[in-house]
Structure 1
């Protein structure tokens, strides 16, 4: 039988493991007492033979028979049989040695370790001691000797039991503190990593805002000049025929492209702002279109389908909604091979808004779905993801009083479903609302 580790003994309190751990020391004590008895009665060969025979027999029974018996019977039954066999052996030696003081030492010693940790241990101790005392007194033992060692055994056992209980309590407390310390250390490492990632993301946001600002200035001149040129060409009466194509087709298309660039720059500047955003009324459909424009480059290899029903005005944090949709759209694009489909659907359902981002990508396993919204969990290669995106998405949806559901199957794609109230409850300012569910 394998020796139990301390942590196992503390956490499980398994009598077999505890007894296995002390088996060697306890057996050594019994051997020493038997040798002392043999030395005391050396020359009285009949007595020596009884001592040796009982000692060897009990050792074999305890090492062989009682290692196998627990597999067939309950622990309480095995300990009761063990008590009866050991008690009979001690009584037999006691009768032949006229209840030597060394034997009484063994009786006391036997009470300290050998009869398990189950709830019947005290009744067994009482039966063991009363039975031996009765046999001893009826076969000529000294009553004072019996009383002295019985009291020593009783109070020695109680003190030992109390010390073991206190030690186990201390070990459990140490183990608990150690687990709490390890948990705190892991949380500290996560917070440290999160701080580093947030600092990096914040730097990227500042850089994006700066780049958008730098692009915005020259684009203002380009917009104004192209618009002025188009207006002037429209006001010119005798415009040459080759220039009419520029007036009617080229410049309007160019101006539309410039306006689209300006919209993307404006979206990027607003999206990268890091200041606090309170709840406000906003046009839900406009923010959805903003998210599609920002995520457009990441979706260039797939076909984007959209079914945008008129949602109208809702209450919440518009920049956070854009952040959620951009994250889900980009994830869908990264999970979908070229030629696949990413579909965005919005619709009103009474006082709530339902948004679906569905893809025909690789899908997710059950194991991935279980950890999907944990911070820093990612299945992307290094450099393509930090594992924070979906954790942030989950937190934002919760803060809006909504919920997010995930339907996914390997090889068949994934669908993220957002269910949001058009007007978040007042308690939605705290991060405790909402719920999460993942399904096939």
Structure 2
């Protein structure tokens, strides 16, 4: 909202239209007062008064026209022309009135409008025109003390005005800088708030998944026990009726095997959802890969071809639940990089004293710009609501906490390969610290566009 000339500013920021209106009214009032003093000093000299008044009317009208929308359409040419016209008008008033005292009040008034920050030639122009006015007055017989005093007063007025303008510009720059910092802090706060909500949602989902797994596990125990008891009773029944032979030989064993698979998946899901750090223990990396494959069967293996090549590995020392989470995240990330399907190659091998896990996909790959932010927490290239940006950050944190390394090779449209290296036995210092969770600090490796 733009205030009218009679309204007070309604904002803390400078309203250019309001300032412009007030300054024009102030300058016009000052000029009218000075002209009134000049007329009173020339009272009785009607010809001179008429000539000075006509010049005053012409100069004032020209100023009003040139100053219209001054701040919004300000140019150096217009400002220089106005200033020069006013100073020459001062010479005219002085010579016409025999340099009456009120004429000299125009000098500090004109000096007040000089803005060096808007026009770098303003100082030189002010100096030249002050010399012109003083020279014309001395040439016209004016006592030297009078022009000297008002020239000095004009210079002081200019210096005070420039000092205030400088302080105002400096203060406005400081305010703009603070406003920018506040805007950045507000944006960071919004991001942190959004991330906190996402973390809370993930935590709630984890607790819900653990609870659901627990609720499923209890009735499945009864079902498993009853099916096994029924199978044992039927096998003990002799002679067995022909219509029940199929149940003993095929149906019930297949049912028991399906129940065992459901119980295994529920146990894997429960351990995965709980995310308990647990103590260091020996584990088989290939078994954790099997757990991850069972968990991701629907999301990954139903849409992608998965080739698994597992070498014989020694038992490692670490947290098996966390390593299963690493494999799950890498498989999900690879599947999401292939929206139209593709092939995932998962393999393990031993190199020296390290177990090596490779997850290679034929997905869309990634650009170097995306790779630079691959393991940053909350970074994702997915649309809003389809990714948290925490999957690969968690992977890096877990691998780092096990004193391992993760390397990425990728190129646009050429797929991606994640290579994870885990020491067979973590360093002694790490074991004494009981494998702290490790920071989610992004490494210097390259990232991928399908980052989860």
TM-score, with structure 2 as normaliser: 0.66
The reply to whether residue 36 of structure 1 matches residue 40 of structure 2 is: no
Q: Aligned in 2, Cα 1:433/1:189: closer, same or farther, shift over 3 Å?
A: closer
Instruction: Kindly indicate whether the alpha-carbon contact (under 8 Å) linking 1:397 and 1:434 is maintained by their aligned counterparts in 2.
Output: no
Q: Which residue is 2:257 aligned to?
A: 256
SS of alignment partner, residue 390 of structure 2? helix
The reply to whether residue 53 of structure 1 matches residue 47 of structure 2 is: no
Q: Which residue is 1:391 aligned to?
A: 389
Q: Which residue is 2:267 aligned to?
A: 266
Could you list the per-position Cα deviations for residues 289-346 of structure 1 after superposition, in whole angstroms to 9, with x for gaps in the alignment?
433422344569x533213343868898765565566567678989999xx5365343
Residue number among 421, 430, 442 corresponding to 1:433 in the alignment: 442
Q: How does 1:283-322 map to 2 (within 5 A)?
A: 285-298=286-299, 303-310=303-310, 319=321, 322=324
Q: Which residue is 1:14 aligned to?
A: none
Q: Which residue is 1:363 aligned to?
A: none
Q: How does 1:169-184 map to 2 (within 5 A)?
A: 169-184=170-185
Quick one: distance in 2 between partners of 1:172 and 1:278? 56
Q: How many residues align?
A: 407
Q: How far did 1:269 drift?
A: 1.2
Q: Which residue is 1:341 aligned to?
A: 341
Q: How does 1:28-427 map to 2 (within 5 A)?
A: 28-39=25-36, 40-41=38-39, 43=46, 44=48, 45-63=50-68, 70=75, 75=76, 83-118=83-118, 120=120, 121-188=122-189, 190-192=191-193, 194-223=195-224, 226=227, 242-276=243-277, 285-298=286-299, 303-310=303-310, 319=321, 322-323=324-325, 326=328, 341=341, 343-346=343-346, 355-356=359-360, 374=378, 379=383, 385=385, 389-399=387-397, 400=399, 402=406, 418=418, 420-422=420-422
Q: How far did 1:268 drift?
A: 1.0
Q: Aligned in 2, Cα 1:38/1:174: closer, same or farther, shift over 3 Å?
A: closer
Q: Aligned in 2, Cα 1:263/1:38: closer, same or farther, shift over 3 Å?
A: same
Quick one: distance in 1 between partners of 2:236 and 2:73? 107
Q: Which residue is 2:433 aligned to?
A: none
Structure 1 stretches lacking a partner, 5+ long? 11-16, 361-365
Quick one: distance in 2 between partners of 1:345 and 1:6? 66
Quick one: distance in 2 between partners of 1:354 and 1:21? 69
The answer to which of 343-352 and 134-143 deviates more is 343-352
Instruction: Kindly indicate whether the alpha-carbon contact (under 8 Å) linking 2:378 and 2:390 is maintained by their aligned counterparts in 1.
Output: no
Quick one: distance in 2 between partners of 1:305 and 1:374? 28
Could you list the per-position Cα deviations for residues 140-175 of structure 1 after superposition, in whole angstroms to 9, with x for gaps in the alignment?
444333233333332333333333333343344444
Q: Aligned in 2, Cα 1:191/1:439: closer, same or farther, shift over 3 Å?
A: closer
Quick one: distance in 2 between partners of 1:405 and 1:390? 23
Instruction: Kindly indicate whether the alpha-carbon contact (under 8 Å) linking 1:83 and 1:115 is maintained by their aligned counterparts in 2.
Output: no
Instruction: Kindly indicate whether the alpha-carbon contact (under 8 Å) linking 1:404 and 1:417 is maintained by their aligned counterparts in 2.
Output: yes
User: With CA pairs under 8 Å and 6+ residues apart, which has the higher RCO, 1 or 2?
Assistant: 2
Q: How far did 1:432 drift?
A: 3.0
Q: How far did 1:417 drift?
A: 6.3
Q: How far did 1:356 drift?
A: 5.0
TM-score, with structure 1 as normaliser: 0.67
Instruction: Kindly indicate whether the alpha-carbon contact (under 8 Å) linking 2:306 and 2:343 is maintained by their aligned counterparts in 1.
Output: yes
SS of alignment partner, residue 260 of structure 1? helix
Structure 2 stretches lacking a partner, 5+ long? 4-8, 401-405, 431-435
Quick one: distance in 2 between partners of 1:224 and 1:332? 39
Quick one: distance in 1 between partners of 2:100 and 2:319? 89
Identify, as 1 or 2, the structure richer in helix. 1
Q: Aligned in 2, Cα 1:91/1:195: closer, same or farther, shift over 3 Å?
A: same
Q: How far did 1:407 drift?
A: 8.3
Q: Aligned in 2, Cα 1:101/1:236: closer, same or farther, shift over 3 Å?
A: farther
Instruction: Kindly indicate whether the alpha-carbon contact (under 8 Å) linking 2:224 and 2:256 is maintained by their aligned counterparts in 1.
Output: yes
Quick one: distance in 2 between partners of 1:137 and 1:280? 103
Aligned CA-pair RMSD: 5.3
Quick one: distance in 2 between partners of 1:195 and 1:147? 71
